[in-house]
Amino acid sequence: MIENFNVMGLSYYGVTGLFNGLVALGVGLYILWRGAGNPVYRSFAAFSISVALWSMAYAFWQRQQSESDALFFIRLAMTFCYFIPFSFLWFAQTFTAEENGEALPGYLYFILPCILATFGFHPMTIPGVRDIAGVRNWPLPGPFVNVFVLLCNGLVLYSFWLLAKSWRLAAAAKRKQILWVGILTLGAWVGGSTNWFLWYGIAIPPIPNFFVGVCFILIAYAVLSANLFDLDTLTELVTDAKLSALTTFAAGMSHELRNPLYIIKSRAEIYLDSSKNVAVAVSAQRGKSPEEAMQIVLNEATRAMDIIQRFSNFVKPKVDVSSKQVVVLKKVIDDVLWFLSSEITMKGIELSVDIPEGLTVYSDQRDLEEIIFNLAKNSIEAMSARGGRLSISAFSKEGKIAVLVSDNGPGINKEIKRHLFTPFLTHGKVHGTGLGLYLVKKLADKNDISIRLDSDKSRGGCQFQLAFSISANLV
């Protein structure tokens, strides 16, 4: 049935080639139009357009009747084909740069395929064509094609390995994007790779070749509906990270408010009863005078108001303008630990704090609170449910003031340390957005605070050091 398929002089394989080419070209141009300034968009557009040019030349090849014309167009198609695995590698490295390191400059990915393309019409690339498995004028592979097939498979496998590695390190939202990309591009590669069987005399016709176009349509849908490759994703996840922190604050406030409100409630109930039975009321006060009992209520109400005020100060919106000032370190760290106290207690963590009285730094207080909070919370989450030890200390030495946040958790391996402050990195945690340490680095840079990590997975434990210049404190 496929052998008799004919539309406007095109066989089934010609029609699938034209379909793939038009779809890939449309997707590539759309993505380039949508984000020409974004290297992820540019690299994927290059991949799409390479696939489109190969597919269109493929369709013209399938339309030819003479061997000489068919040979010309299949050689032309192969000239474009050389760019496909290299542009896909460019895209994979750019898309996973946060987890795997920066990609090379874009032009470097085109040097080798340009060299290969100069040999596109050489007989050692495709010496001739033949009929096989009911398909006319299928190419015979020359030595150059054999080398390219090995190179192509290696580049594609490496690209998917980068995606898999990035998926393992990324947070949930980025994982969803990587999964979309991985599944859809894998489908396109599987469909297109079925063309190689006939090259090597294996009588399996490339019927699934249309998968290429279908997968590119789905990629276009994902870009439109799921914001695939969208730069706004990072902004949204930063907001999610802050909301996650607010959840912790709210839990701490709820825990701290419970006790004073309970005392106020119980004292109020006693005084309501006192209007009926004064003797019972006095007895219930356990020897305290009415004035003393009311003072307890007043103290606890003041305590509850202080808790609410501290929470409000800590989480109220802040304009994105630095307001550096001389900040008392002990107060900042005490405030942060106050919010984390319930979580520290619940996990049975041993807390050690050694901050000299009167030690100050020059920083934006709100930024510094957020830095300390994220580092301490990261340490708490890294330690097991059975407890651990969290230490926060500070000292002044050799023109620097240093704050150390240490834990005895499992430590961090070298691979993750290299990309620790990049967004979406969760280093194996089930929960979290992977943005806590990214925000730490961003705020530290903003306040001219240097940050260093000392951690070794083999011996466990993790220590972050924040360094402030003493001279800055005199401003």
List the chain domain ranges: 12-230, 236-317, 325-475
**CATH placement of domain 325-475:** 3.30.565.10
Percent of the chain with pLDDT over 70: 70
Instruction: Report the range of poorest mean pLDDT among 233-247, 285-299, 448-462.
Output: 233-247
349-354 vs 388-397, strand pairing mode: parallel
Average pLDDT, the chain: 80
Give 112-166 pLDDT, tens digit per residue.
999 999 998 999 999 999 998 888 899 999 999 999 999 999 999 999 999 998 8
Give 167-188 pLDDT, tens digit per residue.
887 766 678 888 888 999 999 9
Percent of the chain with pLDDT over 90: 37
Q: Quick one: pLDDT at residue 374?
A: 85
Instruction: Report the range of poorest mean pLDDT among 31-40, 50-59, 109-118, 154-163.
Output: 31-40
Q: Quick one: pLDDT at residue 337?
A: 86
Q: Quick one: pLDDT at residue 412?
A: 79
- Where does the pLDDT of residue 72 fall: very low under 50, low under 70, confident under 90, or very high at 90 and above? very high
Q: Quick one: pLDDT at residue 167?
A: 86
Q: Quick one: pLDDT at residue 475?
A: 47
Alpha helices in 316-353 (DSSP H): 329-346
Q: Quick one: pLDDT at residue 280?
A: 44
Is the per-residue pLDDT at 82 higher than 90? Answer: yes
Is the per-residue pLDDT at 310 higher than 70? Answer: no
Which one has a higher pLDDT value, 463 or 423?
Answer: 463
Q: Quick one: pLDDT at residue 430?
A: 43
Is the per-residue pLDDT at 68 higher than 90? Answer: yes
Query: What distance in Å separates the CA atoms of residue 136 and residue 83, rounded to the nearest whole number?
Result: 26
Give 332-342 pLDDT, tens digit per residue.
998 888 778 87
DSSP bridge partners of 196: none
Q: Quick one: pLDDT at residue 136?
A: 87
DSSP 254-266: HHHHHHHHHHHHH
Q: How far is the CA of 108 from the CAs of 103, 145, 254, 311, 360, in angstroms? A: 10, 22, 56, 52, 49
Query: What distance in Å separates the CA atoms of residue 39 and residue 106, rounded to the nearest whole number?
Result: 8
Alpha helices in 383-435 (DSSP H): 414-417
**C-beta separation of 28 from 59 below 8 A:** no
- Is the dihedral angle over the CA atoms 165, 169, 172, 174 positive or is it negative? negative
Is the per-residue pLDDT at 2 higher than 60? Answer: no
Residue with tokens 């490759």: 229
- Where does the pLDDT of residue 242 fall: very low under 50, low under 70, confident under 90, or very high at 90 and above? low
The class level of CATH for 236-317 reads: mainly alpha
Mean pLDDT of 237-266: 57
- Burial zone of 247 (CB within 10 Å; 0-12 exposed, 13-18 middle, 19+ buried): exposed
Q: Quick one: pLDDT at residue 223?
A: 74
Which one has a higher pLDDT value, 270 or 143?
Answer: 143
Is the per-residue pLDDT at 472 higher than 70? Answer: no
CATH topology of domain 12-230: Rhopdopsin 7-helix transmembrane proteins (1.20.1070)
Give 407-425 pLDDT, tens digit per residue.
988 887 776 776 677 655 5
Three-class DSSP category at 135: strand
